Amino acid sequence: MTVTVGSRVPDVKVVAVENGATSEVMTGEYLGSGKVVLFGVPGAFTPTCSDYHLPGFVIRAEDLRAKGVDKIACIAVNDVFVMKAWAASQNISDEVVLLADGNGDFAKAAGLELDGSGFGMGLRNQRFAMVIENGAVRSVAVEPGGGLTVSSADSVLASL
């Protein structure tokens, strides 16, 4: 079942990469307090994700915080080692937390999985962005195609 406005954020175990350190977290608790922007990407190191999606949220982090956002997180169906290397390659410190959903448990629980097997990528996230307030989904935008429009940092910022 796809998450919808008003539903609770799925509660699954992922690994957070924050300030170079890693820790196992449950998404329900980790994303469940305050105002959180969570965006999902099909994969670390992929062109749109690395060149536009993630950097957009890093660049706009202060603007999002000025609108009351407490945490910005990016989730991908990649293992923690890939996510940690991606954070280092993007020079991310505390602007955005990266969440490694290595088995795709969050993607499946949220109903946001993407079958990328035609591209040799297996199960992935659809590209999306959601605003979560105290554990409840307040908005969710899923990209209708291969572009980056409704889930960009600018789109999220405009919706707040």
Residue 49 annotated to the active site? yes
Q: Are 137 and 31 in contact (CB under 8 A)?
A: no
64: which strand partners?
none
Q: How far apart are CA 118 and CA 90, in angstroms?
A: 27
Q: Which position among 9, 31, 36, 49 bears the catalytic label?
A: 49
Q: How far is CA 9 from CA 2, 119, 130, 131, in A?
A: 11, 29, 10, 10
End-to-end CA distance of the chain: 25
* Residues annotated as catalytic (active site), given as ranges: 49
